[in-house]
Structure 1
């Protein structure tokens, strides 16, 4: 078993329940961990035999572009697409963080983290 980690994917999106968030949007950070058997690609050196992190980034970018009220919903959609499109992934964890959330205080970020395993 191995892990592929993508750190600090930065996107601007319009998630949130407040009208301002829907219109203006906010900055987000996404961290992603996927777990798969990496024994074969570590020997073969073939991209076709591993989990392509370009594909993972594309999934994150596309799902972050779809507006949601809750970060939990966005995170679950990202994991669902990973399992749908990349059958070699056995487990995935995603953290979606809203930078400078509008919550009436000096808060750097608020984050939701979900971890799921293929059934």
Structure 2
């Protein structure tokens, strides 16, 4: 059976952006990840599923490496996750910048990558 495993709105401070200021000062981000993963239903062992604490660690590691574009960050997260867990058969990564340097008031800007 396949289960959907989700990490929702993981908050991190990172240094992604096109502007030099964003790379120096950083910004607050929220990352959500959803993956489809085959699990052993009926088992109560962690080895029968994808450990979401490890998933968070993978996301944090990728977020620690600056990128200019949110699209690139989302792609790198998807690549790192699917490389770590090859049994993942699809998913979604959403990366939101909470205080983007724009001239209008917005709640966030975000990129969503589905595969």
Equivalent pair of 1:51/1:89 in contact (CA under 8 Å): no
**How far apart are the structure 2 equivalents of 1:82 and 1:66?**
15
Structure 1 segments of 4+ aligned residues over 3 angstroms from their partners: none
Q: How many residues align?
A: 114
Q: Per-residue deviation at 1:46?
A: 1.0
Normalised by the size of structure 1, how large is the TM-score?
Answer: 0.92
1:24 paired to 2:12:
no
Q: Structure 2 regions of 5+ residues with no counterpart?
A: none
CA root-mean-square deviation = 0.9
Residue 57 of structure 2 is matched in structure 1 by 58
**How far apart are the structure 1 equivalents of 2:36 and 2:42?**
17
Q: Structure 1 regions of 5+ residues with no counterpart?
A: none
Residue 96 of structure 1 is matched in structure 2 by 95
**How far apart are the structure 2 equivalents of 1:64 and 1:106?**
25
Equivalent pair of 1:51/1:88 in contact (CA under 8 Å): no
Residue 114 of structure 2 is matched in structure 1 by 115
